[in-house]
Amino acid sequence: MPHPDFGEAVVAVIVTDGRVSEDTVMGALGDRLARFKQPKRVVVVPDLPRNAMGKVQKNLLREQHADLFAAPPVSAC
């Protein structure tokens, strides 16, 4: 995913039954992966987009979450 500081950032998109949260995943990966390999965000989705062959369509995931690191609009005072 595009990131303003890193160029691209690692994002984990997971399907879960609701018992796993972003904090749980990040905590589990903390001791197992180097810091630069850890996802910057974890997104929980009900299912992954798949093509007719059953393969995950990563390009659709990129499009769906392209604004994940977009800066919030600045309001003028």
pTM for the full predicted model: 0.72
How far is 10 from 1, CA to CA, in rounded Å? 7
The answer for 45, left when phi > 0, alpha when psi is -120 to 50, beta otherwise, is: beta
Provide the pLDDT confidence category of residue 72 given band limits of 50, 70 and 90. Answer: low
pLDDT in tens, 5-39: 667 788 899 998 878 888 899 999 988 999 889 99
Domains of the chain: 2-64 (3.30.300.30)
